[in-house]
Every structure is written in structure tokens, then in C-alpha cells.
Amino acid sequence: GRPCVGLVLSGGGARGFAHAGVLKVLETLGVRIDVVTGTSMGSMVGGAYAAGYTAEEIERIVLSVDWDQMLAVRPERELLPWRRKAEDFQGLSSAAIEITADGRARLPKAIVPSQELDIFLMRHTGIVSMVEDLSYLSIPFAASATDLITGERIVMQKNCTLGTAMRASMSVPGAFAPLNVGDHMLVDGGLVDNLPVELAREMGADVIIAVNVGTPLSGRDELQSVVGVMAQMVNILTEQNVRRSIRSLGDRDILITPDLTGLSSTDFKKSADIIRAGETAAQTHAEALERLARPRAEWAAWDAERRNLITEAPKRTEHVISAMRVEGNDMVTPERVIAATGIPLNKPVTNEEVEQGARRVWAEGYFSSLKYRFEPGPGSTEVLVLEPQEREEGYSTVRIGGSLETDFEENNNYNVIFSHTWHLLNSWGAEWRNEAAFGDQHRFLTEFYQPIGPNTNWFVELEGSYERTPFDIYRGGEPIMRWRNEVLDGHVMFGREFPGLGHAGVMGGWLRTKAKREIGVSDMDYEQGVVSTGYLGGQMVFDTLDDVDFPTKGYLFSAEGLVTEADADGRSPYIFMAEALVPWSVGPWTALLQVEKGRSTQPDAFRLGGAFNMAGVPAGRWTGSDYDYASIALARRFATPLLENTPIWVGGRLEAGRAYNGSDPGWSESGDDKWRSSASAYVGLDSVIGPLYLIFGRTRNEGSALYFVWGHPH
């Protein structure tokens, strides 16, 4: 005699957190739910409840999510291979245009990679992963998805896990990549059925409790940009099918529409407010909901049974993995995938360590995502099965970057960089990178990187480059000549990568250097001539910084040097450069210490001056064969309501340094080895187009300057 009660939860992005608040009221009142359907975020919350999670547990999970990590456009920097980390210092964009093996340009399938979402779903639904017919969950459940090819609604219930159903239903087009399931390419179900009332009826529901948290249509004032117009197009499709669903509701059904004014589908960090709004909205319908409530003892017995899958399933926080197996890979060898995880065999590892291992494989860049599962192994051990989604063999990427520095007067410097990399040239992970930079510094580079084996950290790198860097000669505080250093270099490096830390290697090659006057008085030339010689050298970089522009943790230690063949006087020319950069953070405050040292037999090899290298004077104010520099900065991170997801840094910096030529001709200032000092204050914005700075600095006995900087400063 009791009606079958169906709970229908709509999609709505972050607004869907309101569903957790509604569930809290349903549990308080003792409403028994017999079937659950959901779309997008509604499938996440509804699926979790159907699997046996309580409203309080769902709320706790939502509030504990690190949304910055979940929605990051790339892996955490600490996990990246050293070659990708090195590109950060060149100011290259995180996003890339992909070129297929047949030469077609292809934009990314999504803004946000799905790896963190996949890990989240594996963590919270893995406990019921043995269920592949979701009508056999504690509460029968189904999610709606959209077939991107046919435009049809696809019901995610049979022959799929709960995690797969959730992932398909919430694949917002453009945000997350479509999910391929069989012959279907699935995206967010909100496009065709955002409030799946009909689906709940098909599952036997007599009475519907529908919760609609969809984003309402925008007004005229909000449709003044391409982004606003495109969002409205999606909302129109969603709103039309939601209205059809609402019209199908009968007198016995209950429609709950939380007041989410001022809360958007992207307000993930306002989850507590959104949950409260859902709870408040459900409480206003308490009288109608109470008519569906069951006696407390009956409801409690049902709820205990509902939670069986969660409470009785073994919760393993540690695993002893006896073997690993890779499925679904074609190009990258299984040995390389397994080695990248860094997970030891036959030793206890936690769930968090397994998740971090999956992230390390993803960060290698060969896979768009990686899923995993556990299978029984010998004795009490387990087999870890890795399921990587491999990128196309021989694909390549194009990335663009640059930098700009101006003091709003005569000193303006810029660089534009184009980088093209061919990836996965063979099963060992070879790649070929080409780079061109124009502006203040001209640079052309080609390099081929080849790991020596499928699962080794040893590598060989062949590189050829041409670089042209201008510098000014000063006298009496004024520039009197402009010269340029030209370097043509070719070398081979044999090295070893230290995963998560960096690399070190030795190299041998040939170079040709020349210093040439561009502008200035001809009778003051001190032409260095052309030097063409072989050399031996070494390179070491250990980099664990979390960010190269606004670091808060980690460190950077680098050293590089070379020595050439002896010249006619029996001397062996050389150049050496070392740098250390260490941040310390307490709460929103970060202190940053930086030390650099360079020595060379080549005049004017190093430059000192500029916004981040002795603020208050023009870039390259001093040049020399000897270089010393140190700075300490203190900055505070702020979050403002206007730019909630764009941190603002306000800080100051003290600097000391010198650059001079030990063999100065006497008529310039380049032989002055006096230390210089400066102080500066700055505001920095970690924006979507790269770092932006406004800096005021003063160098003692030299002057002051106001700078605007875009791009990486180092």
C-alpha cells in the first residue's frame, strides 16, 4: 500500500551541492527513497546516496574536496618530468594546440583534464565497483547522459559501474572530455534530460521528489561576451527539457527549487552555502514530505540495510601489491608505465600512494588519463591493474609564450616564443623539440631526447642552438654602445633523470662565439673576434618548486658550466653559472631567497638590471664576465571577491648584486666591481594569461623606475 518514491536530482554544476542539503532533511523526516535518478552533479550526489552513503557523509566529502586540484588544467608541477618543468621558465603557455600524426591541428577536447575526477570517483565508488547493474545498488539508480554523435539520451544503468555512470553524466562539453563507452561518445546528460523525471517513472516511481538546481537563463546585461552567449546556448537546451519534466509532474509529486540567487554553477568553493540553501528549501516542503515519511523504526531498519554495501564492504586502507599489469596501451611499453608509478612491490602502500602513482603516470604526458583497479593476488596480496588512455602515436604540440617588461620610458623589452614538440616517437618515449624566440633575445633551438631503454632514468639528448643577446656599454651612467653576443652551439648530453627532483648530465660539443658592435662610436671598439672550439661540460638541475612565478614551497638548485680547448696562450676559456631559489611559507605569507653566481672568460657574458634583477635601472644596466646576485622577498597572498580564483600577491624585495669585466678596456664602466643594492615593492597577479606585475624599485645612487611586467621574470 506504500507508493514507490522516486528521487530525481538535476544537474547544475556546483549548484548541485544543494542536493546534499535536501537529503539531510529527507533523512531527518524519515522519507524512504525507492529509486534514484540524476544528471551531472545530481548523478554524483544521487549515485552516492543510492550506493549507501549518508547525507552527512556526502556533505563531508563535498566540503573536503580540493577544488583547485580537481579543476587544475595540468598535473601538479612537482610531478612533471624535468623537461616539462624546464619549459615553465621560458614562459610557455600551459595549454597547447595538438597536431595529429597526419598533420591536422586539433584543440584540446576539454579545458580540464579528467584525471583528478577519475581518481575522485575511484576513491569513493570503488567500494561498489563489483556492481555493474546499478538497479542492484542499495537503491536502484540510473543516470542520464547524452550521446554526442546521435544527440540521444543514454541511460547509464546496465553494464557499467557507478563511477562510469557518474563520469559520463557529468562530462560537461568543453570542460571535461567525452567518455567513450562502447559505440557511444557520452557527455553531460543535461543537454537532453537535466531533470530525469521520466526515467524515474520508467523505473517504477509513483511519487516524485524532484530537486531542480539548474542555472536560470541570463538577462540581457549578462550576454555581452562570447562566453556569456555560449553559456546561454547550453542553458537554453537545458531549460527546455527541464520545463518538459516539470510539466509532467502531478499533484502528488513534490518539486523543490532551492534559492541559489548569486550562486553559479562554478562556485565550487561556496559548497557550504549551497548545501544550506538546499536544506532550507527542503524544509519549506516539510509538510508535503512528511506525508511520505515512514515510522522511525521502520525507516531506521531500511536505512541500515541501505548502507550495507558501504558498511559491510572491506575498506582497505593499505595494499600489498604483488604484481602490476597494464591494459589498453599500444605505444608506451608496460615497463615504462609501471616504472613511472614509483609504487614498490610486496610492500604495504596506502590508497593515497596508489593515487599519487596514477598521477605520476599521467604527468608523464603520454596519457590523457589513467584508471586503475585491484584484483586478488596470491595469498593476501593484490594485483594493481593500470588502464591508461594513450595519446596518439607521433602526436605533436605547439605552445606559444613570451614576456614583456617596460619602465614606461625608453626601456622596453619583449620576447615571443614558439615551441613545437613531437612526442612518442618510439616506445621508449623519444621526443623532438624545436623552438624559436624573437625580441630582445633571438634564439633558435632543436633538440632530440631519447631515453635509453623502456624503464630506465638514463637518457641521451642531442641539441643544436643559435642565440643572440644584446647588451649596452655604459660610461658616465649613459649607454654609449650596443653590442651583441652570438653563440652557435651543438652538443650531446648523457644524463640521468631523478624522478620528481630533476636531472644531471655531462656533455661534450662544439661552439662558436662572437661579440659584435651594433650601435656606438667606432674608435672604441674592442672586438673580441670569433672563437670556435670544442668543449666539455656538465649540467645539474634539481627543481621541486610548486610554481615558477609565485612559488610557495619546494626549491630550485641549478648549476651549468663548460670548459673549452686551450687557446693560443695555453688558457682554457670557460663559463659557469649557478642558482639557488628557496621559498618558505607560513599561512598566506611567503619569503623567497635567491642567490646567483656566474664566472666566465667571455666579456659581458652576464647581465644585471631590470624589474627582477636590480629594480630601478634598465634591463642589462651592467654586464660582465663576473656576476654575483642575491635577493630576499616577502609577499602576502590575497583573495578578493572580484578575483576569487586569481590570487593577488603584494610584497617587497631587497637586492644586491654586481656584474663586471675583469679585463675591462678602461674607457667604460664594465670594470667596476662595486656592489649595487636596490629595494622594490610590487603587486603580482597570477592570471589566466600568465603572471602580471606592477613594480616600483629604486637602486641606490642610480635612480628609480616603475615597471609593468607580463610573463616569467627570471
Produce one character per residue of 35-57: b if its CB has 16 or more CB atoms within 10 Å, e if not. bbbbbbbbbbbbbbbbbbbbbeb
Catalytic residue among 10, 40, 396, 558: 40
Q: How far apart are CA 585 and CA 550, in angstroms?
A: 11
What region, left, alpha or beta, does residue 8 occupy, with left being phi > 0 and alpha being psi -120 to 50 degrees? beta
Q: What is 159-186 written as a DSSP string?
A: TS-HHHHHHHHT--TTTS--EEETTEEE
Q: 557 to each of 475, 486, 542, 598, how far by Cα in Å? A: 35, 27, 5, 14
Contact (Cβ atoms closer than 8 angstroms) between residue 209 and residue 250: no
Residue of 34, 88, 118, 188 with catalytic role: 188
Cα distance between residue 473 and residue 479, in whole Å: 6
Q: Is 40 a catalytic residue?
A: yes
Backbone angle region of 587, left / alpha / beta, with phi > 0 → left and psi within -120 to 50 → alpha = left
Identity at 98, one-letter amino acid code? E
> What is the C-alpha separation between 679 and 696, in angstroms, rounded?
9
Alpha-carbon gap, residue 637 to 596, rounded angstroms: 26
Q: For residues 624 and 695, give the distance between their C-alpha atoms in angstroms, rounded to a whole number.
A: 25
In whole angstroms, what is the distance from residue 178 CA to residue 187 CA? 5
C-alpha cell recorded at residue 458: 638514463
Long-range CB pairs of 663-671 (<8 Å, 24+ gap) are 663/603, 663/625, 665/524, 665/526, 667/475, 667/524, 668/473, 668/474, 668/475, 668/480, 668/524, 669/474, 669/475, 669/476, 669/477, 669/622, 670/473, 670/474, 670/603, 670/604, 670/622, 670/623, 670/624
Residues 6+ apart with CB under 8 A from 345: 321, 322, 323, 324
As a whole number of angstroms, the distance between CA 343 and CA 347 comes to 9
What letter does residue 113 receive in the DSSP assignment? -
Residues 6+ apart with CB under 8 A from 630: 593, 594, 595, 596, 655, 656, 657
Rg of the chain, C-alpha, whole Å: 30
How many Cβ atoms are within 10 Å of 416's Cβ, its own excluded?
Answer: 15
Write the CA distances from 701 to 319, 674, 677, integer angstroms.
64, 12, 9
Q: How many CA atoms lie within 13 A of 225 on its CB side?
A: 4
| CA dist., res. 73 & res. 363, Å (int) | 12
Contact 436, 398 (CB under 8 A): no
Cell of 637: 597572498
Q: How many helices (H) and strands (E) does the chain have?
A: 16, 32
| Residue 261 neighbours by CB under 8 Å, 6+ apart | none
Q: Rounded to an integer, what distance in angstroms lies between the CA atom of residue 31 and that of residue 151?
A: 35
User: How distant, in Å, are the alpha carbons of 129, 233, 407, 620 from that of 611?
Assistant: 55, 45, 9, 10
Mark whether 663 is an active-site residue: no
The answer to whether 533 and 511 have CB atoms below 8 angstroms apart is yes
Active site residues: 40, 188
